Amino acid sequence: MFKRSFSKSKFRKFRNFNSKRRGFNDGNHGRKKLSNPSRYIYKAVISPMENNTPVKNSFNDFQIDQRLKQNIFSRGYSQPTPIQDQVIPHILAGRDVVGIANTGTGKTVAFLIPLLNKINHQRTDKVLIVVPTRELAVQINDELKFFSKSLNIYSVLVIGGNSLNRQVFELKRNPHFIISTPGRLKDMVNRKFIQLSNYNNIVLDEVDRMVDIGFINEIKFIISRLPTIRQSLFFSATVPPEVNNIIASFLNNPVIVSVKISETAQGIDQDIIHIKNNEDKINKLQNLLRQEEFKKVLVFGRTKWGVERLSKHLEKNGFSVASIHGNKSQNQRIKALTLFRQNLLQVLVATDVVARGMDIDDVSHVVNFDEPDSYTDYIHRIGRTGRANKQGKALTFIG
């Protein structure tokens, strides 16, 4: 048995890292609405600096099962991203890891590949992956299913909005992976359908978002019931100060890997649009959407009702559009995401439920129809475009 530990020097690293946020430090850990529009303006770098982070390995170099390598290659991957290159060897070696990288840089693959390899060699091990949103859980499960082809490794989604009875049935099959949101996971533990002490590999993904939306007690509940001897992995694009206590109780002498150059990806062109009133705001949005370059646009609003109203208004005016927010059923949310991913919609209007970790190819523009509540939220919203070192554009309406 060993004690979970986190040295003072590592705390200083996190404090120093957090203090470098791009001019945003309001004393409330990034929770205030931004008041300086200049923070929304940035000219994209043609060759994102993340490309200059040296990569030492190819996927062939990693000591992983050949079938897993074949699944990686069939996905079109040959060279790992910087976060994958630096993190995968540490996870394969059994180390606890804190991985920090911009969105769209491959954090999910960075933990899935070594964990799949681990389970493939040690079938009695179990993995728990905890994420803030249902959409991210579904996305990770889809990735897991692809990379685990021919390995006979099974997973179950434990999330709200889906049948509880179906999830209980799948849990009885003793899956190797559980991918869950905090609220449903806690409920399943309390109902004694899940015994957390059986899970000796755990990933907390996008923890800052889980704290943002009020899951801090659930996270502490989960950590308190995990076995002492375990491999713990923490991944995020941002590490605000309020999650340091979680890191301290969660990780044992972790390797800290950061491949971030700045808070936002260098390939995202960012600008503001001044509006006079609500009518001017909607007119300017529609004028933008009629331009040819706005091919695949993610529009963020602040409230569920505002998002739904905007979506219906755009639909009445001839745009192919769908919405995602907390009042939608899980099936409706998945359908909207699928249509958008398949380029069958021009516009997806969403609350911040889509702002974290969602991997959607070729989003041409992110439009902040309503300003985000914090710079951290802004980072994650605009991170849906300019992914995988592609160019993207982000626009924010300012009243």
Q: How many CA atoms lie within 13 A of 228 on its CB side?
A: 5
SS3 272: strand
pLDDT in tens, 244-301: 888 888 999 999 998 865 555 667 899 999 999 999 999 999 999 999 999 999 999 9
8 A C-beta contact, residue 227 and residue 202: no
For the chain, what are the domain ranges? 54-258, 268-398
Is the pTM higher than 0.75? The answer reads: no
Tell me, which fold does domain 54-258 have in CATH?
Rossmann fold (3.40.50)
Contact call for residues 289 and 310 (beta carbons, < 8 A): no
Reported as a single tens digit per residue, the pLDDT across 52-106 is 568 899 999 999 999 999 999 999 898 999 999 999 999 999 999 999 877 667 8
Report the alpha-carbon distance of residue 292 to residue 2 in Å, rounded: 59
Tally the C-alpha atoms within 13 A of residue 56's C-alpha that lie toward its C-beta.
7
Mean pLDDT of the region 346-374: 89
Question: How many Å apart are CA 297 and CA 253, to the nearest integer?
Answer: 42
Looking at the DSSP bridge assignments, the partners of residue 367 are 299, 395
Sole residue written with tokens 């990780």 = 251
268-398 has the same fold as 54-258: yes
Architecture per CATH, domain 268-398, reads as 3-Layer(aba) Sandwich (3.40)
Backbone torsion region of residue 389, taken as left when φ is above 0, otherwise alpha when ψ lies between -120 and 50, otherwise beta? left
- Return the structure tokens found at 110: 């960075």
228's tokens: 């002492």
**Do the Cβ atoms of 259 and 228 come closer than 8 Å?**
no
- Assess contact for 227 and 199: CB atoms under 8 A: yes
Which residues contact residue 30 at a Cβ distance below 8 angstroms, ignoring those fewer than 6 apart?
Answer: 21, 24, 240, 374, 375, 376
Both structure tokens of 389: 């070192």
Query: Is the per-residue pLDDT at 211 higher than 80?
Result: no
Quick one: which of 83, 94, 96, 112 has its CA closest to 257? 83
For residues 144 and 186, what is the distance between their CA atoms, to the nearest angstrom?
A: 23
Cα distance between residue 293 and residue 222, in whole Å? 45
Q: What share of the chain is helix, strand, coil (3-state, %, to 5)?
A: 40, 15, 40
Q: What confidence tens digit (pLDDT) does each residue in 291-348 have?
A: 999 999 999 999 999 999 999 999 999 999 999 998 888 889 889 999 999 999 999 9
Rounded Cα distance between 353 and 57, Å, is 34
39, two tokens: 């923070």
Contact 314, 349 (CB under 8 A): yes
